[in-house]
Structure 1
């Protein structure tokens, strides 16, 4: 979140996109102990609200068809001098990319 706070304070608007699958930088099979003992696949933070607490505009996207309008809204808000965070909710998948 410090990039967002810095952007707001410096008046240098940016857009940050969080690809929010509800997990902690992993896929479900990756760290079974962390998943079972510490719930790393059940993260429920509201990143858009966190951004708002830092002085930015938070946008939450829950459906794929909302992405384009969120990006357009962020582009306009950046042009108006505002920092934006887009919290894109996605499914937690039980597999990882091969790339």
Structure 2
């Protein structure tokens, strides 16, 4: 009798740990850094303009405290641009816009 209770308990523990592990793996998704080359700017809560919501989310891959979208469009009142692969005026490249370009 004691042996069957022990086997039952161990089996239940193993099954429970397998279920919890599978649930944890299903909620953990790899960070997607492959964003399309589209210009649909958003202003993050860090007051940085990102070329798209996707680039904001990609930047969050390296952060302990994720940034969220504060507003659509370019940040105003003291915001700055990310270096997310766009330049003002549609000239492409991997540089953010400069102060001279904004005037």
Coarse TM-score class (shorter-chain normalised): under 0.3
Going by fraction, where is strand more abundant, 1 or 2?
1
Q: Which protein has the larger Cα radius of gyration, Structure 1 or Structure 2?
A: 2
Output the TM-score relative to the length of structure 2.
Answer: 0.20
